[in-house]
Chain A
Amino acid sequence: MLLAVQEGLLRDEKLDVKLQEFATGRDAFRAVMEGRLDVATVYTTPVLLQTASGPPPRILTMMHQSGQNTALVARADRGIRAAQDLRGKTVGVPHDTNAEFFLRTLLEFEGVGWEEVRIVDVRAQDVPDTLAAGRIDAAAIWEPICDRAVRALGPGGSVTLRSDAYTDISMLVTRPDILASRRAALGATLRALARAEKVASADPDRLLRAVHASLPEIGADELRVQLRRFRLQLGVSHLLVQNLRSEAEWFTRAGRMPTTADLRSLVVTDLLDEVEPDLVTLEANP
């Protein structure tokens, strides 16, 4: 989205887009559902939890997927070297975000029960300071905050754990009424994003410059490393739906979601299909 704005691709589509930054996708998503925004980029977790508590959103496309973007940063001085060492420790995580789901995945795959760990809600931007202050032993958080936390703990002061099984997926979401009333504009947005993906694929440095302009505090080299963990990938697919279902099962088991949520119906196929048919590998909505 940053690249599409900076390269003027949205303007080319006659769209006057105003970007608004949020600390978490969850907050951006709430702004959408409360009618303050038309669309937002958000990870899967807030979207799933929304279906349990309010009107369902609409997923227009996947934006990226990554298995390495979210991690657990632990203080080395608390004796944490592996996930099993988290038993009895205090782990901070922004609630209702993908980091929470990441933490659940990591713990379960490593055989650590959720109840064996003390979970505390920490705002995403507060994670580095909270961790450095020693109020928590570890935190599950995404990049680039993860990297900030590592730096806050200093050289050798941290241990970073990632999960092979976890994949986070960001999406472009909107409300049903926006989908109905501003369909053409949403289609134009997808067209601009598809062009941006091609630009990024052909010239990764342009993507780097666009992101660096929004995150100037991160060095270019460091940013390049972080971007390599990402794979920009527009599309609506079985994989997206499967990820939503898998995650929903976890939250259902945790009593945070009803079992009847129709996740497939959240995904809009025809809009992206009109823009880039190859990016849609999910059958059309019935």
Chain B
Amino acid sequence: MTASSGRRSLGRELLLPTTALAAVATLALAWMTLDWALEAHRLAAEVRLVRTANALIYELGQLSSDAQRTVLYHQAQPGSAARSAVEAAEAQASGAVERIAALALTERGRDLWRDLVAIRELRLGLQRKLLDAARSDGPQRRSAFAGWDLASERETALLADFGVYNVKQLDRIVREAESRRARALASLAATLLAAALAVSLVSMRIRRHVVRPLLAMSATAERIALEKVAVPVEGEDRADEIGVLARALNQMTADLVLASHRLAGALAMRDEFLSIASHELKTPLTSIKLQLDGVARRMETSGESPPPWMAAAQRQVRRLETLIGQLLDVARIRAGRLALDLEETDLAAVAQAAADRFAPELERADNALRLELAPDVVGRWDAGRLDQVVTNLLSNAVKYAPGTPVSVRVRAGAAQAVLEVEDGGSGIPPELRPRVFDPFERGATARALGGLGLGLFIVRQIVDAHGGEVRVEDAPGGGARFVVVLPRAEVAASVQEAEATV
């Protein structure tokens, strides 16, 4: 048996019972409808029969009554006219008798009809005898009349019985119709109940075989995403689509975890490399810088003009120094060794100093600097690291918004101090903002501008270490505005204590 032939189909498993259920329910409803239609047809036919019989019985009663009245008239006024009238009425009544005899009466109806026909025949015989004896007088006429009268009364009684029987037949048909309706409603209710039960069972089966496994998979997937551990989802051993999904998920999880481990290893290697490289580069760079500075000082002392390459070399060395410093900072951050030296610090003074030191770069980039520094914005912060924050933000403005005005603002609240650096560039698209503080993130337009994409990452790490927060938002003129919020003395102190504890 191949894998595909051994595979069970969940769709087929669920489709079969639901299709069967729908078919059974449809058949049941169709059967009930047909049954009720046939029953209604039968009852309607019975009603028609009873109504016809009733009408004919009424007609027969009327005609018999007419004939009997005429007989009585004939007794008082014997004559051929009265006798003809009697015979005409009886001939009409015979027509009704024939039509009733042709009806498909019930057994009880046939019994009544047989009695009625018998008594009618008796009455007609006695009637003829009475009519014949009409002109005679004495015992013969009296006895004939007595017999005829008795038979007439019985005929009338039987006609009444037949009429009542017909009415009771209508009552019975109504009762049957009501009973049938009640049964049909009960059957419909039972069918709906059974269908609801069956649907519930199918739903429970779907829940047990499909929904629950999928919920379990979902929970496991969330746990994998949260804990980054390879937890297998259940259901691998199933032969249906859920099994296929479980096996695919487990394979994917294993691959992802493996890739994650590999990535973590690569990142660790990178960080270690950066740490080692930056340390290894810092020493010769420091030596080069010292030598360049020494040569520059000597030429300045001797009154010589430094050659043009000297300034360029010194700039590149400072740039290298900045880059290596950033790499070292990243290495410290990754290693959890970013220590703060907290002391009473005036944030405005820090901003002023950094701006002064960065003035040549701003000038080269044609960035007009505007400082709005509130006095005495003091807190317990690491002045050197905050200087690094201001410098990195200004460097960012120079790099991404050259030729635009740059503003640095410092203001204080009761518990917080706020530093804002705002440029007049094109700003940062909203979709990039969540990643702008990640390491090695650089704007696409600025990749040609150099740098490692670590400046803003370091800013956030330093601010975080102070217990503050940093965000970027749109400046009113369309540029970017970086907002740093720092807690003042007490908060910063607690952060320091926490770090000491760690």
Chain A positions near chain B (C-beta within 8 angstroms): 105, 108-113, 164-165, 167, 233, 237-239, 241-243, 245-246, 277-283
Q: Please determine whether B140 and A237 come into contact, CB atoms closer than 8 angstroms.
A: no
Q: Please determine whether B172 and A281 come into contact, CB atoms closer than 8 angstroms.
A: no
Q: Please determine whether A238 and B147 come into contact, CB atoms closer than 8 angstroms.
A: no
Docked CA distance A279–B150 (Å) = 23
Q: Please determine whether A165 and B150 come into contact, CB atoms closer than 8 angstroms.
A: yes
Q: Please determine whether B164 and A233 come into contact, CB atoms closer than 8 angstroms.
A: no
A286 to chain B, nearest CB (A): 15
Which chain B residues numbered 121 to 172 have a C-beta less than 8 Å away from chain A? 122, 125-126, 138-140, 142-143, 146-147, 150-151, 153-154, 156-158, 160-162, 164-165, 168, 171-172
Q: Please determine whether A238 and B161 come into contact, CB atoms closer than 8 angstroms.
A: yes
| Nearest 6 interchain pairs by C-beta | A111-B139, A242-B157, A281-B161, A238-B157, A111-B143, A238-B160
A285 to chain B, nearest CB (A): 14
B280 part of interface (Cβ distance < 8 Å): no
Residue among A110, A237, A243 facing the most chain B CB atoms (10 A cut-off): A237
Q: Which of A110, A113, A238, A246 contacts B158 (CB 8 A)?
A: A238
B112 part of interface (Cβ distance < 8 Å): yes
Closest residue on chain B to residue A247 by CB atoms: B150
B255 part of interface (Cβ distance < 8 Å): no
Docked CA distance A219–B131 (Å) = 45
Q: Please determine whether B161 and A277 come into contact, CB atoms closer than 8 angstroms.
A: no
Q: Which of A110, A237, A283 contacts B157 (CB 8 A)?
A: A237
Q: Which of A165, A238, A277 contacts B151 (CB 8 A)?
A: A165
Name the A residues within 8 Å of B115 (CB-CB).
Answer: 239
B111 part of interface (Cβ distance < 8 Å): yes
Docked CA distance A242–B149 (Å) = 12
Q: Please determine whether B108 and A239 come into contact, CB atoms closer than 8 angstroms.
A: no
Q: Please determine whether A109 and B157 come into contact, CB atoms closer than 8 angstroms.
A: no
In this complex, the interface size class of chain B, counting residues with CB under 8 Å from chain A, is 20 to 34
Name the B residues within 8 Å of A242 (CB-CB).
Answer: 153-154, 156-157
B287 to chain A, nearest CB (A): 127
Closest residue on chain B to residue A241 by CB atoms: B157
A90 to chain B, nearest CB (A): 21
- Show 18 residue pairs from A and B whose CB-CB distance is below 8 angstroms, ordered by the A residue: A108-B142, A109-B146, A111-B139, A113-B139, A164-B122, A164-B147, A237-B157, A238-B157, A239-B154, A239-B157, A239-B161, A242-B154, A277-B168, A277-B172, A278-B108, A279-B108, A281-B161, A282-B164
Q: Please determine whether A111 and B140 come into contact, CB atoms closer than 8 angstroms.
A: yes
**Contacts beyond the supplied A109-B147, A238-B156: 7 A-B pairs with Cβ under 8 Å:** A237-B161, A238-B160, A238-B161, A238-B164, A239-B161, A242-B154, A242-B157
Name the B residues within 8 Å of A233 (CB-CB).
Answer: 111
Q: Which of A109, A164, A281 contacts B165 (CB 8 A)?
A: A281
Docked CA distance A108–B139 (Å) = 9
Which chain B residues numbered 92 to 140 have a C-beta less than 8 Å away from chain A? 106, 108, 111-112, 115, 122, 125-126, 138-140
Q: Please determine whether A165 and B126 come into contact, CB atoms closer than 8 angstroms.
A: yes
Name the B residues within 8 Å of A164 (CB-CB).
Answer: 122, 125, 147
Q: Please determine whether A111 and B142 come into contact, CB atoms closer than 8 angstroms.
A: yes
Q: A165-B151, A239-B161 are in contact. Are A280 and B168 (CB under 8 A)?
A: yes
Name the A residues within 8 Å of B111 (CB-CB).
Answer: 233
The B interface is mostly helix, strand or loop, or mixed, namely helix
Name the A residues within 8 Å of B172 (CB-CB).
Answer: 277-278
Docked CA distance A277–B146 (Å) = 34
Closest residue on chain B to residue A245 by CB atoms: B153
Closest residue on chain B to residue A278 by CB atoms: B108
Q: Please determine whether B154 and A278 come into contact, CB atoms closer than 8 angstroms.
A: no
Q: Please determine whether A165 and B161 come into contact, CB atoms closer than 8 angstroms.
A: no
Name the B residues within 8 Å of A109 (CB-CB).
Answer: 143, 146-147
Docked CA distance A167–B122 (Å) = 12
Name the B residues within 8 Å of A238 (CB-CB).
Answer: 156-158, 160-161, 164
A256 to chain B, nearest CB (A): 18
Docked CA distance A8–B143 (Å) = 47
Name the A residues within 8 Å of B142 (CB-CB).
Answer: 108, 111
Q: Please determine whether B168 and A281 come into contact, CB atoms closer than 8 angstroms.
A: yes
Name the A residues within 8 Å of B157 (CB-CB).
Answer: 237-239, 241-242
Q: Which of B106, B147, B162 contacts A165 (CB 8 A)?
A: B147
Docked CA distance A242–B168 (Å) = 20
B149 to chain A, nearest CB (A): 9
Docked CA distance A281–B111 (Å) = 13
Docked CA distance A243–B115 (Å) = 14
Docked CA distance A142–B147 (Å) = 21
Map CB proximity to A onto B209-233 as digits: 1 under 8 Å, 0 otherwise.
0000000000000000000000000
Name the A residues within 8 Å of B140 (CB-CB).
Answer: 111
Q: Please determine whether A108 and B161 come into contact, CB atoms closer than 8 angstroms.
A: no
Docked CA distance A167–B153 (Å) = 13
Name the B residues within 8 Å of A277 (CB-CB).
Answer: 168, 171-172
Q: Which of B125, B143, B158, B171 contacts A239 (CB 8 A)?
A: B158
Name the A residues within 8 Å of B165 (CB-CB).
Answer: 278, 281
Closest residue on chain A to residue B141 by CB atoms: A111
Residue among B143, B150, B171 facing the most chain A CB atoms (10 A cut-off): B150
Name the A residues within 8 Å of B153 (CB-CB).
Answer: 242, 245-246
Closest residue on chain A to residue B126 by CB atoms: A165
Docked CA distance A105–B146 (Å) = 9
Q: Please determine whether B122 and A165 come into contact, CB atoms closer than 8 angstroms.
A: yes
Name the A residues within 8 Å of B160 (CB-CB).
Answer: 238, 281
Q: Please determine whether A283 and B150 come into contact, CB atoms closer than 8 angstroms.
A: no
B53 to chain A, nearest CB (A): 13
Name the A residues within 8 Å of B164 (CB-CB).
Answer: 238, 281-283
Docked CA distance A29–B437 (Å) = 120
Docked CA distance A245–B150 (Å) = 10
Name the B residues within 8 Å of A280 (CB-CB).
Answer: 168
A126 to chain B, nearest CB (A): 30
Name the A residues within 8 Å of B171 (CB-CB).
Answer: 277
Closest residue on chain B to residue A277 by CB atoms: B168
Closest residue on chain A to residue B169 by CB atoms: A278
B284 to chain A, nearest CB (A): 123
A197 to chain B, nearest CB (A): 11
Q: Please determine whether A108 and B143 come into contact, CB atoms closer than 8 angstroms.
A: yes
Closest residue on chain B to residue A283 by CB atoms: B164
Name the A residues within 8 Å of B143 (CB-CB).
Answer: 108-111
Docked CA distance A281–B158 (Å) = 9
Map CB proximity to A onto B8-48 as digits: 1 under 8 Å, 0 otherwise.
00000000000000000000000000000000000000000
